A and B are shown apart, each in its own frame.
Chain A
Amino acid sequence: MRIVALDSVAERLRLKRGQGVAEARAMHPQIDVLPADPAADKAFLSALADWCDRYTPLVAYAGVDGLALDITGCTHLHGGEKALLDDVLSRLFQLGVEARGAIAASPGLAWALSRFSSARFSDDNVIEAGEEAAALGPLPVTALRLPETLTDTLIRLGLTHVADLMEAPRAALARRFGPLVFLRLDQALGHDDEPLSPRRPVAELSVERRLLSPVSGEDDILGLALQLATGLKTKLEERGEGGRQFELLLFRVDGKVFRLLAGTSSPVRDPKRIAALYKERLAAVHDDLDAGYGFEILRLCVLKVEPITSIQDDFSGRPDQSRALADFTDRVIARFGEDVLSIVVLAASHIPERAASLQPAGNVVVPAAKMLQAEEWPIVPVRPLRLLTHPERVEVPAADVPDGAPERFFWRRTAYRVARAEGPERIAAEWWIDGEDAPTRDYFRIEDETGRRFWMFRNGLFQRERMHPDWFMHGIFA
């Protein structure tokens, strides 16, 4: 067992990463050893990243033990760079997290400073423009994010500090160690670009509200959501757009962040409709939303926008039909999820179960967009009203061979006698999907003595494809 991570107390005891646990225990019997759990670390880091969303929407992972925040344009909201860094570190300290931080013009330099700077106060880790070389020079080469083998070689050659590399002739070193060394150096100094990849896409628009005293009641949250939505309205109107997808972020006092997504079937900017969506969402997640000691920040983001055409109500006084329908679908979907409402989508296939399917209605703007209409159907065969999800096996004691209808059958443990039958309608398998040896189906429309009408098929041609083909119940007619 080896040490993979240390806290600051252990570092002061001069323990090292990669050291054996037995050796460390021999040196300092009082140390605590916990087994490493990378999955839990990852989850914790992700929760911290959520928490950091309060400072900037651009939060990226920096390795497995760090976060990079792009605070361009955000600092004035928090009283400057130094105040921001102080705020982050002190809040994290209060949450029980020992964190180090630095602010620099490039992610590489900030990474190096936060890990290797010997500054006592975090204020010294805020690097102004032009001081990059001076700040980076005294740091060890390990601060350059190079592979371990490469770092070891550099240290063995006596290039222990970054300043040594800066002074050394570039061409010879690049020939010896490859381009990575100077790429990292240039990135840290800001000569080369290094993009951050944020965890989440940046919202198109967002409005937030910081509260002095946390709220926990559902009504309070809804009231604030309505206020935030009202704040969004003017912005959306300026852009001539409406939101299709919204996200309400609730920052809990103890650092947990809840995200409530809500989608609409048509672009929306009416604050009341947005708030109504969240009324349903909150009711749906009621049990999962643990308010604890309350929420201190609420933020409403618009993730997806679409152009909206201004609609003026007419004088008839009747509410607009498609708008009312969109309103209904949005409310139901916000409450119960996308799968709960569907529309029929027809497809060009002769296989009955492929010809029509129920698709979520949320994505389709009502009235339905492009879809195959029944009038465009090449033939108009007889089709049942209800189709069993899986065809059910039917026991047929006697049927005309080779391609006649059954005379009696047993379905769901009940006997039926066939009074009339229409068929067969022969539907060959789609070999390009099902394979070449998929059986042909012979469909019969069958009426029993009482007048129940069923749709049954023989799976496979008698003796040509199957010796004794099975029968299946597939649908029910009116």
Chain B
Amino acid sequence: MAENAVPRETVLALRDAIARLERDRPSGSCRPTFETEGERAGFSASARSLGGQDVAGQCRAKQYRIEQGGQDDVLPLGVPDLDHAMSGGLPLKGLSEIRVAETRDVGAATGFTLGLAALYQTRRKALGELGPILWISETMAGKEAGEPYGVGLSLLGIDLRAALFSRPRNLQQALWIAEAALGFSVFSAVILEIRGNPARLGLPESRRLQLRSVASGVPIFLLRQAGEEESSSAHLRLLVRPAPAAPFMLPDGTMLSTGIGHPAFHVVAEKTRAFSPVDAYLEWSSHARRFYPLDPVAVPLPANAADPVPVLSTSVGRQGGTPAVGRVVAFKRAS
């Protein structure tokens, strides 16, 4: 769809002005995906007036800050693309939404959310606090996608001594518990897991959560299983997709191509302050307790990928093989 050139130019100029106003903001409040390094440097010079410092340098600075224990008002993820889109990192308070399109992808979203929670917990522990995590899971969410498994959580890097799990009977109870938890600033993070897009969790409810979270300084993550994108008060909405993990690395440094390495995620920042959705591949290292960017090209294909012919004949009449019905039409984005 071709846009009128003049309004587009006006919009860009306005955005530029806004970016200048928000200059003290440490990051790319507005950053589309770039094609070339030159364009990237040029844009950053004009929009964020970095004064000759290139993006790579900024990334290095950020890396340094991560290792130093983070900034004041944001928690850097350690993945430059996403950190840029999220204005420097994850907000330290407020409502953020993490959703998966399908229930079967929920493993990736769970891992990603718990990774974030572990980041927050590490930060609180550095301040000498207990920093417990509260995971509220609606009954149906647990039944469909499985209950939290302690051994696995512990292996991911969650401190089980500082983790509380709540299984309320319905959404109303879940919201009550979430709000009550946000009244106590002891928690380092609250995770509220729901299924789909329930009508009882609309704009007013998400606004309440957002306000309470900002007031108490406890971040809350809305983990939405199999849900559509819907407008809410969350400043941040991330879509998590499963991603093939990097090969398993042996102690001597060689890659074991059949082994499965660290948990990997494909994260799409759907709702941020950036112009357009940004996506990144990342992996979680439970040993270092942090995310690392992952190059999706580096993932080798399985050994038998050279032979594109299926080993067995494709099944007929199964649901897995049925093509999708209907066609895709352009809906307005919810937010």
Contact = CB atoms under 8 A, between A and B. Distances in A.
Interface of A: 319, 321-322, 324-325, 327-329, 331-332, 335-336, 339-346, 352, 355-358, 361, 366-368, 373-374, 377, 380, 382-389, 397-398, 407-408, 410-416, 419-422, 445, 447, 450-454, 475-478
Contacts of B110: 385-386, 476, 478
B135 to A, nearest CB: 10
Contact of A380 (B146, B155, B176): B155
B104 A452 contact: yes
A331 B180 CA distance: 9
A369 to B, nearest CB: 10
Contacts of A332: 166, 177, 180
B274 interface: no
A385 B163 CA distance: 14
B148 A358 contact: yes
B266 interface: yes
B284 interface: yes
A379 B312 CA distance: 37
A475 B111 contact: no
B100 to A, nearest CB: 11
Nearest to A341: B166
Contacts of B265: 478
B332 interface: no
Given A343-B165, A367-B130, A415-B320, A374 B151 contact: yes
Interface residues of B, number: 67
Contacts of A355: 150-151
A385 B148 contact: yes
Contacts of A331: 180
B184 A324 contact: yes
27 contacts: A319-B185, A328-B180, A328-B181, A332-B180, A335-B176, A336-B168, A342-B165, A343-B160, A356-B149, A358-B167, A367-B161, A374-B154, A385-B107, A386-B107, A389-B143, A389-B146, A412-B104, A413-B319, A413-B320, A416-B320, A420-B260, A445-B260, A453-B107, A475-B149, A475-B152, A476-B145, A478-B263
Contact of B129 (A321, A361, A445, A475): A321
Residue among A385, A410, A453 with max Cβ neighbours from chain B (10 Å): A385
Given A336-B168, A384-B107, 12 more contacts: A319-B185, A328-B186, A335-B176, A344-B153, A422-B258, A452-B104, A453-B242, A453-B245, A453-B263, A477-B107, A477-B263, A478-B114
Nearest to A413: B319
Given A325-B130, A408-B312, A452 B259 contact: no
B333 interface: no
Nearest to B176: A335
Nearest to A357: B150
A213 B320 CA distance: 71
Interface string B207-244: 00000000000000000000000000000000001111
